Structure 1
Amino acid sequence: MPVYKNIWIACCLNLAFALLEAVFGVMFRSSLILADAVHDAGDALAIGLSALFETRATKKATHRYTLGYKRYSLLGALLVSSILITGSLFVIRENIPKLLAPEKVDHKGMFVLAIVAIAVNLVAKGMMEKGHSQHEKILSLHFLEDILGWLLVLVLSVLFQWTDWYILDPLFSLLIAGFILYKAVRQFWDNIEIVLEATPKGVDIEKVAQELEAVPPIEAIVQLQVWSLDGVEHCAMVHLQVRKVEDMAESKRLAHALLKNYGVGQVTIECDSSVR
């Protein structure tokens, strides 16, 4: 199944369950469930909009977009991570006052809803883990968030059956929101680095240069730039200096092979000869 179809399915699951959360959150008087309903509604909107970008990212290169449309997927990842950050901050703001005045919740309803929610989110997370794009990674993080959140709801529903520690409801809402805020900010920054064309993680540019200079026909590296289109597909621009003109073809072949070992698929190589 194409990536964008998985994302649309995840969007529909998220939106439908967010509506159920809102209804049952009011019925069970759980700030944790209500906060998650708001969070999921925002996420569903973000997922749906960003799925449009993911669909466009599968298009082939054109005269206008000569490197293809892969960065549309990156735009989707940035959008979703931004919504996660905003939603986490909203949850934190709403639940801090409830620490001072916790409300009694319906623990039996929480228990049943938690079981259903964990099953739904495990299915959605499994769909996202089959992909490799930055967008799918951030969506997988979102569903991991939901699974962790609902595991806590499950534990709390059992505790509330035997205790009146209702302060744990807003307290754990804050803990989950803080965890996801930390993870989403890191993912957001990773995506920003890709937009700014930073050297991809896992590619040691100095080591690559040293290995290229160690290739016998190559005398010097005049230029070496490596960047990523979408976090998965990497590109490079290389300017080599070789001793003889007849060494150019072999130098290019060896440089291509070396860069391929670092996951660089698209390479542009220019060669100069020091001996005319």
Structure 2
Amino acid sequence: MTTNRAVWLAFFLNLSFTIVEFIAGGVFGSSTVLADSVHDLGDAIAIGLSAYLETISNREEDSHYTLGYKRFSLLGALITAVILMTGSVFVILENITKLFNPQPVNDEGILWLGIIAVTINVLASLVVRKGKTKNESILSLHFLEDTLGWLAVILMAIILRFTDWYILDPLLSLVISFFILSKAIPRFWSTLKIFLDAVPEGVDIEQVKSDLEQLDHVASVNQLNLWTMDGLEKNAIVHVCLEHVKHMDVCKESIRDLLKERGFQNVTIEVDSSLMNHAHHKRCVDELKSLDGHEH
């Protein structure tokens, strides 16, 4: 299944369950479920937005975006991550007070609703888990959050059938929310760095530069830019100075092979010769001398 279809299917699954959850919350008279349905509605909107941006990201480059639309996928991942983190913080703040005043819940109705919720979230997770984009990675984390949350609810419902430990409800919510934050924040930071054109993760730019300088006939590396548009394809711009212009073709091939070995798919190479630079420098000096002679 393509990334686009996977994200859209995940959106419709999430939105459908949000409607079911809202109805069930009213039937069971559970304010907890109703509040969670509002939270899930926000999640569904975020996923829908991500799906739309994922669709845009698949467009080819044009006169408006000459580098393509891949960054739109990252934008969707950032928005989803922000909503995920905001929702987790909201749950934490809300449930801290409930630790001191736990409320009874309808354990039987919540148990069956939890089973349905886990089934839907596992299905949605299976749909997007094979995706490689940052957007799909963030969505997988979202479904992990929901699955863990509802598993905790199921466990709580079973325990509450035999006890009145209602404090388990806010306690488990806090544990899950802190766990999700510990995963969401690093994902958000990783995506943000890509969005800001940071050097791709796992790439040591100083080592790459050193390896380029050690290639035969390379006198110096004057410019080296490494980045990725979407976290998948790596790009490089290299400007090197050669010992002699006759080695240009051989050196270009060596540079391209070296960078491709390190996972760079798109490589742009600019080459100068040290002899060309020397001639250019001499010409500039002669022109300055000529100008200086005219002034006198």
Q: TM-score, normalised by structure 1?
A: 0.94
After superposition, the C-alpha distances for 1:64-113 in whole angstroms (9 at most, x for unaligned) are: 31211100111111111111112112212222222121112122222222
Q: What's the counterpart of residue 160 of structure 1? A: 160
Q: What's the counterpart of residue 16 of structure 2? A: 16
Equivalent residues in 2 for 1:117-196, closer than 5 Å: 117-196=117-196
Distance 2:35 2:250 in 1: 61
After superposition, the C-alpha distances for 1:114-163 in whole angstroms (9 at most, x for unaligned) are: 22211111111111112111111100110111111111112111111221
Q: Identity of paired residues, percent? A: 49
Distance 1:178 1:38 in 2: 20
Secondary structure at 1:65 match in 2? coil
Once the two structures are overlaid, the 10-residue window that deviates more, 199-208 or 108-117, is: 108-117
Secondary structure at 1:96 match in 2? helix
**Alpha carbons 1:111, 1:154 under 8 Å: kept:** yes
Question: By how many angstroms is 1:208 displaced?
Answer: 0.9
Letter in 1 for 2:173: S
Change (3 A) 1:184 1:32: farther
Q: What is the alpha-carbon root mean square deviation over aligned residues? A: 1.7
Distance 1:218 1:40 in 2: 57
After superposition, the C-alpha distances for 1:203-234 in whole angstroms (9 at most, x for unaligned) are: 11111112112211222211111011011111
Distance 1:181 1:82 in 2: 10
Aligned residues: 276
Q: What's the counterpart of residue 205 of structure 2? A: 205
After superposition, the C-alpha distances for 1:32-82 in whole angstroms (9 at most, x for unaligned) are: 644532321111001111211111111111123121110011111111111
Q: Which runs of 5+ in 1 are unaligned?
A: none
Q: TM-score, normalised by structure 2?
A: 0.88
Letter in 1 for 2:135: H
Change (3 A) 1:117 1:249: same
Distance 1:29 1:162 in 2: 21
Moved over 4 A (4+): 26-32
Distance 1:32 1:141 in 2: 22
Distance 1:47 1:223 in 2: 40
Change (3 A) 1:27 1:96: farther
Distance 2:134 2:124 in 1: 16
**Alpha carbons 1:28, 1:105 under 8 Å: kept:** no
Change (3 A) 1:103 1:190: same
